[in-house]
Amino acid sequence: MTIQKTRVRPAAPPVKRRRTPTTNVADVGRPGFIWAAPATLFFGAFAIVPLIMVVVLSFMSWDGIGDPEFTGFDNWRRVFDDPVMIKSIWLSLLLTALGVLLQTPLSIMLGVWAAGNQKNRAVLSAVYFVPLLLSATAVSVVWRALLDPNFGVPAEATWLFGDGNLFGEQATAIGVLAFVSTWQFTPFHTLIYQGAARAIPQVLYQAAEIDGAGRYRQFFHVTLPQLRNAIMTSMILMVVGGLTTFETVLILTQGGPGTDTTISAYYMYEEAFKSFDYGAGATVALVLVLAATAISLIMVRLSGYDKMRSTTEGL
Amino acid sequence: MRRRPNYLAGAGSLIWLFLIGLPLYVMVTATLKTQSDFVQGGPLGLPTDITFDNFTGAFDTGFGRYFLNTLLVTVCVVGIVLLLVPPLSYSIVRSRGRVTTGVFRLFLLGLAIPLQAVIIPMFYLISEAGLYDNLIGVILPTAAFALPVSTLILSGTMRDISRELFEAMAMDGATPRRMFFQLVLPLSRGGLATIVVFSALQAWNGFLFPLVLTQSEESKVITLGLYNFQTERGIDAPGLLAAVLLSMIPVLLVYLFARRALVRGLMGVGGK
């Protein structure tokens, strides 16, 4: 994500009532904090306060009816003693990794392809973006009906799907989840790469052409390196999105068979809103946020993305 | 530069088109089938005799009400976003105070907060405020979580307004208020359109907040209606898919007319 810092300027001189020759015209008519206050207060109340409260609640016990009570590290101990939780962390990581591995190459190829200016590409791109508009709920419901063991496509194409019950085994159930997420989110990442690929200076391709580089060498030696920042942005979004996948699991597999697709975000929901153990749920939520932040930071560090090097250096 | 066509990319794009199109095809054809037709002919067959009962059936099972509820949530969320984000972005772009820089950081941080992380405290807060099972209790958090992206998009647009214009107005002794209404708002129409479409889409497709913060039929939104339909009567695939299709129609209409605003906004989210 392009974090464009507001330009750092020296602090404005104290406002003087009388006009002196030193008053810079650029300093007149600046809006004060009051313009930002309503949105900030609103966001603070409905996003920042809950975020802080999730930390507090992870040290409390609450059943949803009485008042929360302080219980120290009890939730943490219980959550990490639960084999289902440990399993859910691994499943979350597996599903996230699968998502990144499937979606990254696919969306880079589609994005670079869609960045071309041909008319047919524009028309096809318009169709490709449709999944992006649909709610995760709608997408999951449609795929659930389509892959139904008794009345769906697998029941007809048994030569391809075996007994047709893709939800009956862990491997195929995870496959379905990874596939549906890919179906839904690839268009978004394609869009990121399309924007980035359009921004690559044509000069680079002309130079490569003169040096005799063919289409594939141009792709690997010009396009890919130029997409560095976009790849980082898109992968971080995939990691955060993958770790917090919820609707897909709720509608497609309900965490099953057994607990074989119970990823952490779904485990959190079950603990809190099905078992009414909100303290444990808050603990899992906090673990998820910390994991997503840590992984993103590590990725940023490893790739040198934090130095925000421009891809157009030396042009 | 003339190039020979890239057959490999062409083939790949057609395979992807097939994968995108398949569920859409199944959905549209299934909605026109009777349930027995769907079971006998399979999901891939064409309907033998066309029926529209699935759509009327969806309305009979309450989707009319869910539709109106979702519309109400969407309109209110867009209203809140339009009320709060333009002044905020204006101040982020134009103010020189250190506080405002901090505010911008806060909203950037907000981009990274997943809904799942705050859902339990949100349930607590909304229940304490007496807004559980009330659409207001869905509208407020949904709007709050639409703010960061909208702010990022709109302040990007406002940053493109040239400094000379502000200085010219300052010379004429314009107040920040007048600059906002006469200069900034008219010149940010593109960005405003994008945040309207974007926050409307988020509100229309929202699921987690309604799932956890509402309960009764009276305050059910359309995504929740789909989820309940699927868990209770999922066997009626044509009826279910008709409901899904109905839920998509407004979004597809908006896409048809405001594609540019939406695509530009989403590209902005990714950053270039």
CATH number for the domain harbouring residue B220: 1.10.3720.10
pLDDT at B271: 44
Residues B122 and B41 occupy one common structural domain: no
- What's the one-letter identity of residue B130? G
Residues B130 and B170 occupy one common structural domain: yes
Residue A251 Cα, gap to closest chain B Cα (Å): 7
Give contacts of A60 with chain B, Cβ < 8 Å.
none
Residue B12 Cα, gap to closest chain A Cα (Å): 8
B111 interfaces chain A, CB cutoff of 8 Å: yes
Q: What is the DSSP string of B196-222?
A: HHHHHHHHHH--HHHHHH--SGGG--H
A179 interfaces chain B, CB cutoff of 8 Å: no
- What's the one-letter identity of residue B33? K
Q: How far apart are CA A164 and CA A147, in angstroms?
A: 8
**Chain pair A-B, CB pairs under 8 angstroms:** 317
Chain B: residue whose CA lies nearest to A311: B272
Domain count, chain B: 2
**What is the residue range of B32's domain?**
1-51
User: pTM of this prediction?
Assistant: 0.85
Q: Which domains does chain A have, with CATH numbers?
A: 31-74 (no CATH), 84-307 (1.10.3720.10)
Burial A252-285 (b: 16+ CB within 10 A, else e): bbebeeebbbbbbbbbbbbbbbeeebbbbbbbbb
Strand partners of residue A61 = A69
Residues B76 and B28 occupy one common structural domain: no
Chain B: residue whose CA lies nearest to A288: B117
Tens-digit pLDDT profile for residues A38-83: 999 999 999 999 999 999 999 988 888 888 888 888 889 988 988 9
Residue A9 pLDDT > 80, yes or no? no
User: Is B255 a domain residue?
Assistant: yes
* Stronger pLDDT, A193 or A2, i.e. the higher one: A193
HEC readout, A107-134: HHHHHHHHCCCCHHHHHHHHHHCHHHHC
Which one of A133, A186, A275 makes the best mutation probe of the B interface by having the most chain B beta carbons within 10 Å? A133
Tokens in use for B90? 């204006």
Chain B: residue whose CA lies nearest to A24: B167
Residue B148 makes CB contacts below 8 A (sequence gap 6+) with: A43, B107, B108, B110, B111
Cβ separation of B113 and A273 shorter than 8 Å?
no
pLDDT at B144: 95
Residues B154 and B218 occupy one common structural domain: yes
Residues B153 and B97 occupy one common structural domain: yes
* Stronger pLDDT, B181 or A149, i.e. the higher one: B181
Q: How far apart are CA A299 and CA A291, in angstroms?
A: 12
pLDDT at B138: 95
Residues B10 and B79 occupy one common structural domain: no
B97 interfaces chain A, CB cutoff of 8 Å: yes
pLDDT at B266: 65
Q: How far apart are CA B119 and CA B138, in angstroms?
A: 11
Residue A149 Cα, gap to closest chain B Cα (Å): 11
B115 interfaces chain A, CB cutoff of 8 Å: yes
B234 CB neighbour count, 10 Å cutoff: 16
B165 interfaces chain A, CB cutoff of 8 Å: no
Strand partners of residue A60 = A70
Cβ separation of A11 and B87 shorter than 8 Å?
no
Give contacts of B85 with chain A, Cβ < 8 Å.
39
Residues B5 and B81 occupy one common structural domain: no
Residue A175 Cα, gap to closest chain B Cα (Å): 15
User: Is B99 a domain residue?
Assistant: yes
B253 interfaces chain A, CB cutoff of 8 Å: no
Burial B89-115 (b: 16+ CB within 10 A, else e): bbbbbbbbbeebbebbebbbebbbbbb
**Helical (H) or strand (E) element with B271:** none
| Residue A170 confidence class, pLDDT cut points 50, 70, 90 | confident
Within the 182-201 window of chain B, which residues sit less than 8 Å (CB to CB) from chain A?
A: 201
Considering only the beta carbons, identify the residue of A153, A243, A244 that sits closest to B44. A153
User: Is B57 a domain residue?
Assistant: no
Q: How far apart are CA B163 and CA B187, in angstroms?
A: 13
pLDDT at B272: 35
Residues B79 and B8 occupy one common structural domain: no
Cβ separation of B96 and A26 shorter than 8 Å?
no
pLDDT at B139: 96
A39 interfaces chain B, CB cutoff of 8 Å: yes
A230 interfaces chain B, CB cutoff of 8 Å: yes
* Stronger pLDDT, A94 or B101, i.e. the higher one: A94
Tens-digit pLDDT profile for residues A25-35: 556 678 878 88
Residue A10 pLDDT > 70, yes or no? no
pLDDT at A91: 93
User: Is B6 a domain residue?
Assistant: yes
Tens-digit pLDDT profile for residues B229-239: 988 887 788 88
User: Is B56 a domain residue?
Assistant: no
User: Is B112 a domain residue?
Assistant: yes
Max Cα–Cα distance, chain B, nearest Å: 77
Considering only the beta carbons, identify the residue of A5, A32, A195 that sits closest to B270. A195
Segments of chain B with pLDDT less than 70:
1-5, 265-272
Q: How far apart are CA A14 and CA A30, in angstroms?
A: 13
Residues B36 and B81 occupy one common structural domain: no
Considering only the beta carbons, identify the residue of A27, A46, A289 that sits closest to B140. A46
Residues B155 and B241 occupy one common structural domain: yes
Give contacts of A233 with chain B, Cβ < 8 Å.
270-271
Collapsed DSSP state (helix, strand, coil) of residue A175: helix
**Tokens 């009956």 sit on residue:** A168
Residues B131 and B236 occupy one common structural domain: yes
User: Interface pTM (ipTM) of the complex?
Assistant: 0.88
Cβ separation of A126 and B21 shorter than 8 Å?
no
A282 interfaces chain B, CB cutoff of 8 Å: yes
User: Is B250 a domain residue?
Assistant: yes
User: Is B142 a domain residue?
Assistant: yes
**Tokens 């250190």 sit on residue:** B98
Cβ separation of B13 and A155 shorter than 8 Å?
no
User: Is-contact A252 A149, C-beta < 8 A?
Assistant: no
Residues B135 and B46 occupy one common structural domain: no
Helices (H), chain B: 7-31, 35-41, 53-58, 64-94, 98-111, 115-128, 135-159, 163-171, 176-179, 185-187, 189-205, 208-213, 222-233, 237-270
pLDDT at A49: 93
Cβ separation of B20 and A183 shorter than 8 Å?
yes
Residue A308 pLDDT > 60, yes or no? no
